[in-house]
């Protein structure tokens, strides 16, 4: 439980390879974290000592909008600048975009052979927030590995993609010309999370309308106190048209975050969320890991059926036993 406890032996050598910058070690470390194997907290504790360094960019928006294509185009540009790039594609479990994984694989295939790029896709496993349960740890791990640019894709419409704000510095919301997208964005709360809007598939009819709608909506909101004016950009991911401008906007946003002090505020906020998550996960482990809780629960179920107890009284008994057990 204590993250400073000695690492299991196999993890010691993994740590060494990881710190030596071996990509195979990064891949193995990610699996370690995803499977939550023994010692994974200790491993993270040892590698996360440098704090966040990477430029973290999240792309989100409705299925099929071109997020993967944009990430591929952005990754090429970053590679041209000799930046090392990490890509995390969070695959939805939603049946509507069952083809996404295959599509991503094909589009990202030629990227995958570039040694300066590390790609990982993860399943959401039905978790809320559009991010897989351990994806924040995986992003932290890539950061710690020294990848300077992290591009994270999450799919969602409505509230499901809001989790991305808890993992990145800059949120890019990708919309397409298909009717109503601008309006959808406003309804779905995307206006609140977007640092940058992109109207992708600008080669299709209707792009100017969505572009105009978004600009108008953002203008109406302009009364807010932020000094960052959310830009709206047009792109054609398939030809990389507008992608250099997108990367510029991302970098400008990062500069704004830095200079305004907002970056530190966001990073602190993220850290607070992570501490709570880790603590709650540990507590859950303590709560249901021992036998006592289950024994009281089982006994309580009969009493509930007989009208002798309620879920509340059984829960209170479980907590009482837990605290008594850990009081010393
Ligand atoms: N015409 C046109 N097609 C595009 C553009 N960008 C992407 N596409 C196509 O749109 C489809 C979806 O692109 P993806 O990059 O997979 O979109 P995505 O948002 O990652 O999709 P999901 O991961 O399934 O949500 C693919 O067939 C792309 O080739 C564009 O700018 N113009
Ligand atoms: Mg995709």
Render pLDDT for 58-93 as a digit per residue (tens, 0 to 9).
998 888 899 989 999 999 999 999 999 999 887 655
183, 300: one domain: no
214, 228: one domain: yes
Nearest CA to ligand 1 atom 25: 63
Number of domains in the chain: 3
86, 29: one domain: no
4, 146: one domain: no
Q: Which residues line ligand 1 (CB under 6 A)?
A: 63-69, 97, 100, 103, 155, 200-201, 203-204, 236-238
Which residue did the predictor score with more confidence, 115 or 75? Answer: 75
CATH of the domain at 202: 3.40.50.300
Nearest CA to ligand 1 atom 14: 66
pTM for this prediction = 0.86
Nearest CA to ligand 1 atom 24: 100
Residue 187's pLDDT band, with cuts at 50, 70 and 90, is: low
In angstroms, the CA 171 to CA 184 distance is 17
The domain boundary, picked from 260, 294, 314, lies at: 260
Q: Which atom of ligand 1 is nearest to the CA of 100?
A: 24
Range of the domain at 9: 1-48
97, 43: one domain: no
Report the percentage of the chain scoring pLDDT > 90. 52
CA dihedral 70, 76, 80, 84 (to 10 degrees): 100
Q: Specify the pLDDT at position 98.
A: 37
Contacts of 200 (CB under 8 A, 6+ apart): 65, 66, 69, 70, 174, 175, 176, 234, 235, 236, 237
Residue 301 resides in a domain? yes
Reported as a single tens digit per residue, the pLDDT across 282-311 is 888 889 888 889 999 999 999 999 999 999
Residue 224's pLDDT band, with cuts at 50, 70 and 90, is: low
Q: Specify the pLDDT at position 92.
A: 58
Which residue did the predictor score with more confidence, 102 or 68? Answer: 68
122, 66: one domain: yes
Q: Specify the pLDDT at position 310.
A: 97
Ligand nearest to C-alpha 64: 1
């Amino acid at each position: 439980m204590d993250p400073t406890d000695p690492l299991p032996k196999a993890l010691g050598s993994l740590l060494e390879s990881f710190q030596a910058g071996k990509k195979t070690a990064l891949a193995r470390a990610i699996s370690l974290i995803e499977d939550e194997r023994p010692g994974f907290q200790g491993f993270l504790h040892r590698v996360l000592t440098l704090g966040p360094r990477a430029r973290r960019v999240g792309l989100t928006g409705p299925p099929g909008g071109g997020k993967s294509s944009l990430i591929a185009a952005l990754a090429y540009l970053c590679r041209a600048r000799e930046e090392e790039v990490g890509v995390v594609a969070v695959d939805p479990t939603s049946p509507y975009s069952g083809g996404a994984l295959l599509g991503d694989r094909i589009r990202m295939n030629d990227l995958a052979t570039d040694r300066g790029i590390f790609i990982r896709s993860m399943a959401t496993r039905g978790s809320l927030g559009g991010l897989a349960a351990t994806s924040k740890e995986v992003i932290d791990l890539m950061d710690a590995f020294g990848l300077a640019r992290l591009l994270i894709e999450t799919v969602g419409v409505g509230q499901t993609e809001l989790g991305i704000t808890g993992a990145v510095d800059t949120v890019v919301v990708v919309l397409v010309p298909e009717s109503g997208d601008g309006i959808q964005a406003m309804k779905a709360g995307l206006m609140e999370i977007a640092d940058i809007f992109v109207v992708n598939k600008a080669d299709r009819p209707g792009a100017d309308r969505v572009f105009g709608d978004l600009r108008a909506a953002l203008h109406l909101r302009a009364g807010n106190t932020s000094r960052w004016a959310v830009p709206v950009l047009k792109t054609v991911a398939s030809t990389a048209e507008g992608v250099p401008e997108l990367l510029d906007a991302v970098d400008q946003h990062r500069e704004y975050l830095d200079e305004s002090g907002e970056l530190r505020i966001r990073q602190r906020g993220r850290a607070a969320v992570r501490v709570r998550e880790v603590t709650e996960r540990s507590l859950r482990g303590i709560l249901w890991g021992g036998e006592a809780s289950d024994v009281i629960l089982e006994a309580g179920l009969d009493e509930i059926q007989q009208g002798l107890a309620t879920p509340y009284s059984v829960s209170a008994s479980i907590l009482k036993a837990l605290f008594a057990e850990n009081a010393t």
